[in-house]
Amino acid sequence: MLKQEPSSKPGIHFMTRIAYLFAFLSLLTLVTSNSSFNGTSQASADNSTGSGYTQDQLDALDFLNSVRAKVGVPPVKLNVAITRAAENHASHYNDNKSQLTGLKAHSEIEGGPGFTGTKAKDRLIAAGYTASSKYGLSTGEVMHFNQKSSSEAMQGWLDTAYHRDIILDPYFSEIGIGLVDGTAVVDMAGPTIISSKNDILAVYPYNQQTNVPVGFYGQEIPNPLDRFKVKFSGYIISATAEDTITNPQVEIKDNLGNAVPYYEELQGNTLFVYPKSVLKGHHTYTVSLTYSTSKNAESKSKTWSFTTGEGQALNYFEPFTTEITLNQDEQQQTIWISHYDDTTADEKTEGMRYISSNDKGLRISASGMITAIKPGDYTIKATLEGQTSLVKVKVYPKWKTKNYSSALKALPLDSTGHSLRETLEWGLKEGIITPASNGKLKPDATVSEAEFWMMLLKTYRVNITSYQSGKQTLVDAAYQISKDRNYPLAGIAKKEKRNQPIDRLEIAEIVAAADGMYFNGYNAVQYVLAKGYVRGVTELSYAGYEGDRNVTKAEALVILKHLQGSLYSLKGRPLQPTDKSALPEMPQKEVYIKPATYKDQSFFAQYELDGRLILEGKFLSLKGQSVVIKVQEGPVSVHIEDITVQFDETGNFHAEVGPYTPQRLNLYLSDTSKSSLRFLSVEKGTINQF
């Protein structure tokens, strides 16, 4: 459970949890509607019952309690004051919705129409609620919009992670249900401590549940899928114990016994499991969980199963790229993207069939692996659920190769003291570079397009001489290779461009082409950075890549040595530009070099592989002050701890904290007013700076 907050009312302690749910239609309403109106309860007096509650409220209560019974937690009962607080807040939201976006929906605007309290606990008190338990009080609140009934809202909350966790929480014993002009609010209350001899483990979907939805699509704020960097998952599976869960081990199997991969999130006494793919329709899944708790180290286990309802329907499928290039005798796995009626898309291709236009030149296996047998142009036809899709395949002749290794071991005198000496020695030994006739290597001379292209071919041991014909020079032969394979060299059409300096932007386009992709400009930069083929100059970012910068011979060797370790072979560029959808996501910014000194307003973090975190920076406005840095787990900010750092009289600070275990940390540096001055995210084993 969350940290207790002292109430303004003596003798009561509050724990408040809030969550906020939206559907697509609700989001449109929030964005486009600026009008406010006075709402009245959708369940009118005509629908009221002798109990004083509306039929809508009683139906929703019955529905929720039936689910709570099946998952194994006690029922909740309606409370007049809590219900009044929920209805009041729904009305206030409707009257002020343009100012209450996102999680602000759970607050109220003081002085605004219908204001009853900034926080849920304040609104309960204002409505006349008092806690009866000697163990204090915990509260929770969930909201949903554009709802026709409170029961419909309940189902929506059950179909999420954090909202489900609140309405199925075993600690809550009382509930208030409000539905005002489509805005559904549920407030819940209960003691902060419960005593049970049943050793509760509440799971949802519950055992033997049927017609379970197949997917979750991130329609929740906070969105739990953000931490996994995905937009959808299979239907969420959750397990809630009375105490903090420790050492959970989960296994999910489909009805064929196949293991289902998943993401996992542990939040105190609740474990959330997100299958990595949308589940199959009309399929039975079995979940096995082994765990212990903070108060009982003894291992416990539970196994249960559920059956899904209607599944996805395939709209269409397509190849990941419309054209594939590879060399003779090479293999490559084809990738196909299936698009479904629930707006999701993935690489799930179970049941796909393939046909090659000429299996004597290009063979494809039942799993979609192509083998290039003969040079030529081919087409692969794929069939899935009665639909077909095509991908073009260009097979280039096998490279003619040569060993360029040199007997030269010692660097020329103009290179012996160079900062990149080891790389220069590598280039000399591999025969990628050779001294000029005067014996000099000129490592700091700017490299031309022709020189870089020749160096690239030699790095991959392409025998340039064997491609010469007639009176062609070696450079002419190298450019003929680039033309035949559609490489983006300016010197193909204009020979005068061959001797002009090459910049890092053109290098990115050439490297992308070498991997069989046709990307231009900073799309090419994103591709090579994301694939790890080329590093930036100062940092991993568009700006840090410095695309307009020319390269020296030594710097070109650094690029090529790194590339050789990550790119297996040189392919060719497709005839048509590659769709941007094939671009990998731009990696998080990463600084390569720790600065010797800091400029004003600098915030630096170094996250070691052993979990230690080194923090430094400079803020002249904070000289002599102490400030707080919030350390949170990323990518979704889950709070770990606050640390206090002291700025010296020069405005600098230094702190070493940890160790921490998350792969990524989010860091918030705040001043004495608790307003955030700087945000920084850093991956383990890297450094970063703002």
Backbone angles phi, psi at 447, to 5 degrees: -90, 135
Lowest mean pLDDT among 17-26, 249-258, 302-311, 501-510: 17-26
Per-residue model confidence (pLDDT) at position 573: 96
| pLDDT recorded at residue 636 | 62
Q: Report whether 239 contacts 252 (CB < 8 A).
A: no
Prediction pTM value: 0.75
Residue 106 above 90 pLDDT? Answer: no
Which tokens hold the place of 236? 């969420």
Look at residue 403 in the predicted model and tell me its pLDDT.
92
pLDDT of residue 327: 96
CA distance 394 to 331: 12
Please state which architecture CATH assigns to domain 314-396: Sandwich (2.60)
Residue 54, pLDDT score: 94
pLDDT, average across residues 11-17: 36
Residue 128 to residue 106: CA distance in whole angstroms: 19
| Coil, helix or strand at residue 232 | coil
Residue 92 contacts residue 187 (beta carbons within 8 Å): no
Alpha-carbon dihedral 506, 510, 511, 514, rounded to 10 degrees: 170
Q: What integer is the mean pLDDT of 566-588?
A: 93
Cα angle, residue 78 at apex, residues 89 and 184 outer, rounded to 5°: 35
Residue 357 has pLDDT above 80, yes or no: yes
Q: Is pLDDT above 90 for 513? A: yes
Mean pLDDT of 516-531: 96
Parallel, antiparallel or unpaired: strands 676-683 and 638-646: unpaired
Tell me the average pLDDT of the chain: 86
Q: Strands 638-646, 626-633: parallel, antiparallel or unpaired by DSSP?
A: antiparallel
- More confident of the two residues 20 and 553: 553
CATH topology classification for 201-308: Immunoglobulin-like (2.60.40)
CA angle 100, 101, 102 (to 5 degrees): 125
Contact 138, 124 (CB under 8 A): no
User: How much is the pLDDT for 134?
Assistant: 64
Whole-number Å distance between alpha carbons of 688 and 237: 36
Structure tokens at 166: 């609140």
Does residue 661 register a pLDDT over 80?
yes
**Alpha-helical runs (H) found in 12-132:** 24-32, 55-71, 80-96, 120-126
Lowest mean pLDDT among 32-41, 299-308, 486-495: 32-41
pLDDT one-digit tens code per residue, 187-238: 999 887 665 555 789 999 999 999 999 999 998 888 999 888 899 999 999 9
Pick the CATH number of 594-689 from 1.10.10.60, 3.30.470.20, 2.60.40.10, 2.40.30.10: 2.60.40.10
Token pair of 611 as six digits: 């979990």
Q: Which residue has the higher pLDDT, 407 or 222?
A: 222
β-pair partners for 688: 605
179, 43 Cβ separation under 8 angstroms: yes
| Residue in 120, 239, 137 with CA at minimum distance from that of residue 194 | 137
Angle of helix 504-514 relative to helix 521-531, nearest 10 degrees, comes to 60
d(CA 644, CA 632): 14
Same fold, 201-308 and 314-396: yes
> pLDDT higher for 199 or 52?
52
Query: How is the chain split into domains, by residue range?
Result: 55-191, 201-308, 314-396, 420-582, 594-689
* Torsion over CA: 431, 436, 441, 444 (sign): negative
Strand-pairing partners, residue 603, are 617
State the Cα–Cα distance between residues 393 and 577, nearest whole angstrom. Answer: 15
pLDDT at 564 over 80: yes
- Cα 490 to Cα 493: distance, rounded to the nearest angstrom: 6
pLDDT class of 42 with cuts at 50, 70, 90: very low
- Give the number of other CB atoms < 10 A from CB of residue 232: 20
Distances (CA, A) of 509 to 515, 519, 533, 625, 630: 10, 6, 12, 49, 40
Query: What CATH homologous superfamily does 55-191 map to?
Result: CAP (3.40.33.10)
In this prediction, residue 313 carries a pLDDT of 93
Pair 4, 14: CB distance under 8 Å = yes
CA distance 354 to 369: 10
Q: Which residue has the higher pLDDT, 318 or 681?
A: 318
pLDDT at 322: 94
Contact criterion met (CB below 8 Å) for 362 and 371: yes
Whether the CB-CB separation of 150 and 184 falls below 8 Å is answered with yes
pLDDT at 86: 94
Contact, 109 vs 144, CB < 8 A?
Answer: no
Pairing of strands 137-144, 77-78: unpaired
Contact 395, 326 (CB under 8 A): yes
Checking if the pLDDT of 148 tops 60, the result is yes
Cα 210 → chain centroid: 31
| Per-residue model confidence (pLDDT) at position 463 | 96
User: How many residues in the chain?
Assistant: 690
